[in-house]
Amino acid sequence: MVKVDIRQLPHGEGLPLPACQSAHAAGLDLLAAVPEAAPMTIAPGQYALVPTGLSIALPPGYEAQVRPRSGLASKHGVTVLNAPGTVDADYRGEIGVLLINHGDAPFPIRRGERIAQMVIAPVVRVEFVPAASLPGTDRGSGGFGSTGR
148 contacts: CB under 8 Å, gap ≥ 6: none
How far is it, in rounded angstroms, from Cα 19 to Cα 59? 19
How far is it, in rounded angstroms, from Cα 34 to Cα 49? 11
Q: What integer pLDDT is reported at residue 114 of this predicted model? A: 97
Are the C-beta atoms of residues 57 and 92 closer than 8 Å to each other? yes
**Could you report the per-residue pLDDT of 19-44, keeping only the tens digit for each?**
999 999 999 999 999 999 999 999 99
Q: What integer pLDDT is reported at residue 139 of this predicted model? A: 86
Does residue 147 have a pLDDT over 80?
A: no
Does residue 134 have a pLDDT over 70?
A: yes
Please choose, from the candidates 77, 75, 74, 71, the residue with its C-alpha nearest in 3D space to the C-alpha of residue 99: 77
Q: What integer pLDDT is reported at residue 79 of this predicted model? A: 98
Mean pLDDT confidence for 113-123: 97
Give me the domains of the chain, ranges plus CATH numbers.
5-122 (2.70.40.10)
Q: What integer pLDDT is reported at residue 143 of this predicted model? A: 82
Q: What integer pLDDT is reported at residue 140 of this predicted model? A: 85
How far is it, in rounded angstroms, from Cα 58 to Cα 134? 35
**Could you report the per-residue pLDDT of 53-77, keeping only the tens digit for each?**
999 999 999 999 999 999 999 999 9
Mean pLDDT confidence for 85-113: 98
Q: In the structure, what pLDDT confidence band is assigned to residue 51 with cuts at 50, 70 and 90?
A: very high
Q: What integer pLDDT is reported at residue 149 of this predicted model? A: 61
CA distances to 18, 34, 120, 122 from 73, in Å: 20, 20, 21, 26
